[in-house]
Amino acid sequence: MDTKLFGEELKKLGFTFFSGVPCSFLKHLINYAMNECDYVAATNEGEAVAIASGATLAGEKSVVLMQNSGLTNAVSPLVSLNYPFQIPVLGFVSLRGEPGLSDEPQHELMGRITTQMLELMEIKWDYLSSNLDEAKQQLQRAKTCIEHQQPFFFVVKKGTFATESLKIEKQRTNVNVKKVNRSREDQLPTRWEVLQHINSLKDEQTVQLATTGKTGRELFEVEDAPNNLYMVGSMGCVSSLGLGMARTKKDKDVFVIEGDGALLMRMGSLATNGYYAPKNMLHILLDNNAHDSTGGQSTVSHNVDFVEVAASCGYTKAIYIHNLQELTDQINDWKKHKGLTFLYMKIAPGSKKNLARPTLKPHQVKERLKVFLNG
């Protein structure tokens, strides 16, 4: 199939935001996306799904591209972000290891179970036709699904897309311009105190995305508001959701409130965030050195210098926060001089007693946030 003509059809239907991890079967479609659309290269397929989901919330129709081996990496956000929040993305997943064709041994099992995995995840799918007219009709069905807030995936066989050359890919290097390391005693406030502080500093264009577990639950109790999203599942995906959102909604300020366990789970996201560097994203890590939400089991965060990691990933600013006053000062400063910023703060373990859970369903939280974002 002529990749350009298919890409133009996608564009015509409004699909202009892409994120993914390459597969040779999808190379030409990826080249089209890189040439003609907004393509965010993710470090893993789950991250790509979260980035595309952030862009979807911000009002774009979004596409994810992945090899079927990477569908496994995407399971967590597909089942615990896209499903409960009803965030639709259009997926193209290659079919390496197609039964009956010779391929590498590492693709054999996945080739047999790719469509079963999609079925298990209750994702509607179809084999993408290599006939352009048929494919256009299939796209209509996919679009209808997306409009009903459900993801749709095309399974792409070898040789489906004709050659589309990559125009010159410009790579830039983002350098960290400000790094502040630890220099005094930590105040170690509770997460509850920190969230109250952050929440009190929001203004009418602030979105607050709270990571999986008690962070979201505490933020809900601090104040339930339309500009909040409580990430109930998809641990580790919150900053990727933020990246997709910040990149597509530049008139909003995206505050990402992250936990150490979650960030460690998908630390590759720091590299992607640092490269794409949305100016309107403030990434705040609350490090209690524990999986507090699941009983306080230790993480290895004490052995990681996150300020150094974020700085070396290209975050414009990476700042160690020792106390609540510094947190206030830095957030106020950020509002005046934006730029992708990482604020690192050690907090005390533990959470508020008798903590409630959001009373709204995730998809209601999403609908409310979409209205906030898109008017």
Ligand X SMILES: Cc1ncc(C[n+]2csc(CCOP(=O)(O)OP(=O)(O)O)c2C)c(N)n1
Q: Which parts of this chain interact with ligand X (CB under 6 A)?
A: 76, 211-215, 233, 235, 259-262, 288, 290-294, 299
| C-alpha span between 143 and 242 (Å, rounded) | 24
Residue 286 Cβ, how far from ligand X at the closest point, in Å?
7
| Ranges assigned E (strand) in the chain | 15-20, 38-41, 61-66, 90-94, 124-127, 152-156, 178-180, 206-210, 228-230, 253-259, 281-287, 290-291, 297-298, 317-321, 341-346
C-beta of 231 vs 277, nearer to ligand X: 231
| C-alpha span between 338 and 350 (Å, rounded) | 32
C-beta of 46 vs 88, nearer to ligand X: 46
Place of tokens 């998908």: 266
Residue 332 Cβ, how far from ligand X at the closest point, in Å?
25
Residue 210 DSSP code: E
Residue 234 Cβ, how far from ligand X at the closest point, in Å?
7
| C-alpha span between 154 and 187 (Å, rounded) | 51
Residue 248 Cβ, how far from ligand X at the closest point, in Å?
25
Residue 293 Cβ, how far from ligand X at the closest point, in Å?
3
C-beta of 243 vs 262, nearer to ligand X: 262
C-beta of 213 vs 274, nearer to ligand X: 213
Question: Could you count the other beta carbons within 10 Å of the beta carbon of residue 112?
Answer: 12
Task: Tell me the C-alpha to C-alpha distance, in Å, between residue 125 and each of 25, 82, 293.
Answer: 17, 15, 35
C-beta of 54 vs 213, nearer to ligand X: 213
Closest residue (Cβ) to ligand X?
Answer: 259
C-beta of 145 vs 210, nearer to ligand X: 210
User: Shortest CA distance to 212 belongs to which of 239, 230, 228?
Assistant: 230
Residue 297 Cβ, how far from ligand X at the closest point, in Å?
8
Residue 242 Cβ, how far from ligand X at the closest point, in Å?
15
C-beta of 120 vs 175, nearer to ligand X: 120
Question: Could you count the other beta carbons within 10 Å of the beta carbon of residue 270?
Answer: 24
Residue 174 Cβ, how far from ligand X at the closest point, in Å?
25
C-beta of 142 vs 347, nearer to ligand X: 347
Q: Are the C-beta atoms of 57 and 47 separated by less than 8 Å?
A: no
User: Shortest CA distance to 186 belongs to which of 325, 323, 287?
Assistant: 323
Residues with Cβ within 8 Å of 134's Cβ and at least 6 positions away in sequence, in order, are none
Place of tokens 């699904």: 145
